[in-house]
Amino acid sequence: MMQYPEPIAKLIESFMKLPGIGQKTATRLAFFTIDMREEDVNAFAKALLSAKRDLHFCSICGNLTEDDPCEICRDKTRDRSMILVVEEPKDVMAMEKMREYHGLYHVLHGVLSPMEGTGPEDINIPSLIARLHDEEVKEVIIATNATTEGEATAIYLSRLIKPAGIKVTRLAHGLAVGSDIEYADEVTLLKAVEGRREL
Amino acid sequence: MMQYPEPIAKLIESFMKLPGIGQKTATRLAFFTIDMREEDVNAFAKALLSAKRDLHFCSICGNLTEDDPCEICRDKTRDRSMILVVEEPKDVMAMEKMREYHGLYHVLHGVLSPMEGTGPEDINIPSLIARLHDEEVKEVIIATNATTEGEATAIYLSRLIKPAGIKVTRLAHGLAVGSDIEYADEVTLLKAVEGRREL
């Protein structure tokens, strides 16, 4: 049997390392790549190398950045009385897209997970606590995901931070805007009812 | 608003050039890449460049190859009396996986499509006709896709080749092995009935 020529086989192998990409999709992507313009393929290869080489974590907030400290931590116009805590750097980007939050961030790089043996020292919790001493922080907004681990991490942080006299808040849970009640899961619906507001 | 750091933005942009990958998936893949092992990212970048640089089309059959002529055209053990005609190089790979076909191939790199202005001279039809003169070809198996254009191309080729006294065959259409009649589309079902065999 004829094998794929080695350059294709290797490219398929690389695409298959990406999440949600099986052999069929990887093969389709590899053949597509071969038909792409040379400059686009070169740019792709360069972007891969640069993303790995030029990005680091901010030594203050843990966000992805080219420079340290990151753009947000360096920005004097941001409200230094608020820290919004997220699980991953991409959550910072999601918040920034909203354009409504002007405080600081802290990226945990994970959540507490007894099942996977992830304790407070394994994620960026010590560095968060350290920031609470140094800065004039008045509120910590916990924006971990609405998963079991995310909730547990939120509760843990709340118990840790509140005694220091700092306000701890959590993002509201409820129905997604534009979504149907009919299709909402029970837990979301329960949170929506619990969090109801007077009109 | 904070933008994505440039290395991520560029990587997202590159992923978005791939088929079926929108902004959300591209972002997920870019962040995944940043967490990949450095050697895997380097291998990925290298594979992209190599796939574009080291692969060429065989001057005889049009298949993708590192060497010219390709492995199959050079293979003296293959049956030179048969040429199986496909649309794309990946179709050759699919056929080879079957391990049952030992003849030669011809890759058209497209199909006839009056709608898109693709005529016989725009795809590898002239080179196919030239091969029929040179070699001891007894049968041409047309394995274009079961689409309108694929069928039209098959009929066109059949009319062109038959007068030269060469047998022209087409792959059978019918139900996919393991598939349910209930879910088969009407055209496939019609082809399956037309092509029925005595048991």
Residue A59 maps to a domain: no
Residue B125 maps to a domain: yes
Residue A127 structural domain: 64-198
Same domain, residue pair A77 and A146: yes
Name the A residues in 85-104 with CB < 8 Å from any B CB: 88-90, 92-93, 96-97, 99
CB-based contact B51 A34, cutoff 8 Å:
yes
Same domain, residue pair A26 and A102: no
Same domain, residue pair B82 and B36: no
Same domain, residue pair A69 and A112: yes
Same domain, residue pair B119 and B68: yes
**Nearest partner of A70 among A52, A84, A58, judged by Cα:** A58
Same domain, residue pair A35 and A123: no
Q: How many domains does chain B have?
A: 2
Q: What is the pLDDT of residue A184?
A: 75
Domain boundary among B54, B72, B89: B54
Q: What is the pLDDT of residue B1?
A: 46
* Residues sharing a CB contact under 8 Å with residue B140, sequence separation 6 or more, in sequence order: B82, B83, B84, B85, B128, B132, B157, B161, B166, B167, B168, B169
Same domain, residue pair A146 and A170: yes
Residue B162 maps to a domain: yes
Chain B residues with CB under 8 Å of A89 CB are 31
Tell me the mean pLDDT per 10 residues along chain B, length 199: 80 96 93 93 96 92 93 94 92 83 94 91 94 87 88 93 90 78 77 73
The answer to whether the beta carbons of residues A62 and A124 sit under 8 Å apart is: yes
Same domain, residue pair B119 and B145: yes
Same domain, residue pair A75 and A144: yes
Name the minimum distance, in Å, from the CA of A129 to any CA of chain B. 25
State whether residue B92 is helix, strand or coil. Answer: helix
Residue A119 maps to a domain: yes
Residue B59 maps to a domain: no
Same domain, residue pair A97 and A120: yes
Q: What is the pLDDT of residue B187?
A: 80
Residue A198 has which token pair? 């007077």
Q: How does the average pLDDT of chain A come out, rounded? A: 89
Name the A residues in 27-46 with CB < 8 Å from any B CB: 27-34, 36, 38, 40-46
Confidence of residue A94 (pLDDT cuts 50, 70, 90): confident
Residue A41 has which token pair? 């393929």
Q: What is the pLDDT of residue A199?
A: 63
Residue A31 maps to a domain: yes
Residue B133 maps to a domain: yes
Average pLDDT of the segment spanning A74-103: 89
Q: Which residues pair with A65 in a beta bridge?
A: A56
Same domain, residue pair A20 and A113: no
Per-residue model confidence as pLDDT tens digits over A75-89: 999 999 999 999 998
Confidence of residue A1 (pLDDT cuts 50, 70, 90): very low
Per-residue model confidence as pLDDT tens digits over A158-176: 999 999 889 999 888 787 7
Residue A134 maps to a domain: yes
Same domain, residue pair A192 and A130: yes
Chain B residues with CB under 8 Å of A4 CB are 93
Q: What is the pLDDT of residue A198?
A: 66
Q: What is the pLDDT of residue A178?
A: 74
Q: What is the CATH number of the domain that holds B15?
A: 1.10.8.420
Report whether pLDDT(A118) > 50: yes
Q: What is the CATH number of the domain that holds A78?
A: 3.40.1360.10
